[in-house]
Amino acid sequence: MELYDVVVRAAEFIGSQVKGKPEAGIILGTGLGNLTDKIVDEIRIPYDLIPGFRVSTVQGHTGHLVVGSLAGKIVVVMEGRLHYYEGFSLAEVTLPVRVMRHLGAELLIINSAAGGLNPLFRPSEIMIVTDHINFQGDNPLRGVSDERLGQRFPDLSQAYDRDLIKLAGKLAVEGKIPIHYGIYVGVSGPSLETPAETRMLRQWGADAVGMSTVPEVIVAAQEGLRTLVMAVITNVNLPDCMAPISIQDVMDNASKAENNLFSIVQGVLTNT
Ligand code: HPA
């Protein structure tokens, strides 16, 4: 079956379970699943019931698509995302983004956990992503081209919507939420970075490193979604004094940022 048909089939299945047309998609990252508690009138569909969807194997990713109402908008939320390091193809990782678009979403908000490379960052702070470096060694658009999915060579000069970046920044200031702006470098993982890799990524100009987000943003650009990415800095990696990273710390520090993140997400939905 062609990818486009897989997208249509999944969207038709989800559409048959929910009322109304989703206006925005939200992807929640590691340790950030509690945001779905705030959604009302929701329907939760386990990924394994959705035709074509793969099921995440990662601790902290429960794997449900939640459709409901948040800040006056109908949203479709991925509670748990798929990662390249789990062994999925990037087409599989990004299928839900295409399905969200097919369901009607025009806006995509991505949240993810990331390691800070900028020495001014502190754990549990939020970085509004202004650009990325794809260092995953793969691209979700590699392979057969299909005009129904978008252009062969999508432009990425505005992949991170400037108006959404401005809006998120304004909301953070109003809410007295400390934020940074910066560049996210996507790596394949699952091993964490060595000190030498950390130094290199910083020298390349990246402010944070993570194992997700980049493929979803590339597909979102091809699909014509307006995208906002907020990375939660769960640990800060300094090449000259690297400390072991505990996954428990990553999860805990992500959770500590949840309220701040949620208030920006809600504000963005209200003001778009
Ligand atoms: N490196 C890569 N991915 C991550 C990190 C990190 O230090 N922290 C959270 N996700």
Domain residues for 108?
3-270
Is the confidence at residue 137, as pLDDT, over 60? yes
Residues 6+ apart with CB under 8 A from 104: 21, 22, 23
89 Cα to the center of ligand 1, angstroms: 20
Pair 55, 47: CB distance under 8 Å: yes
Tokens of 162: 């400037």
Query: What is the number of domains present in the chain?
Result: 1
- Predicted model pTM: 0.95
The reply to whether ligand 1 has any atom less than 6 angstroms from the CB of 172 is no
Which residue has its alpha carbon closest to ligand 1 atom 10? 114
Closest CA to 213 of 201, 192, 230: 230
pLDDT at 247: 85
pLDDT at 235: 95
pLDDT at 29: 82
Residues 6+ apart with CB under 8 A from 190: 83, 85, 211
Task: Summarize pLDDT for 21-58 with one digit per residue, the tens.
Answer: 999 999 998 767 778 888 888 899 999 899 999 887 76
119 Cα to the center of ligand 1, angstroms: 15
The reply to whether ligand 1 has any atom less than 6 angstroms from the CB of 31 is no
Question: What is the CATH classification number for the domain harbouring 83?
Answer: 3.40.50.1580
Residues 6+ apart with CB under 8 A from 33: 60, 61, 62, 79, 80
The reply to whether ligand 1 has any atom less than 6 angstroms from the CB of 115 is yes
For residue 154, report the phi and psi dihedrals to the nearest 5 degrees. -65, 140
Task: Summarize pLDDT for 85-113 with one digit per residue, the tens.
Answer: 999 999 999 999 999 999 999 999 999 99
104 Cα to the center of ligand 1, angstroms: 32
pLDDT at 197: 98
Which residue has its alpha carbon closest to ligand 1 atom 8? 115
145 Cα to the center of ligand 1, angstroms: 32
The reply to whether ligand 1 has any atom less than 6 angstroms from the CB of 254 is no
Tokens of 209: 């490193």
pLDDT at 249: 87
Task: Summarize pLDDT for 171-186 with one digit per residue, the tens.
Answer: 999 999 999 999 999 9
203 Cα to the center of ligand 1, angstroms: 17
Using CA atoms, how far apart are residues 248 and 178, in angstroms rounded to an integer? 23
pLDDT at 58: 65
The reply to whether ligand 1 has any atom less than 6 angstroms from the CB of 253 is no
255 Cα to the center of ligand 1, angstroms: 15
* Torsion, Cα of 270, 67, 256, 112 (10° steps): -90
Task: Summarize pLDDT for 61-85 with one digit per residue, the tens.
Answer: 568 899 999 999 999 999 888 999 9
pLDDT at 34: 78
Using CA atoms, how far apart are residues 90 and 88, in angstroms rounded to an integer? 6
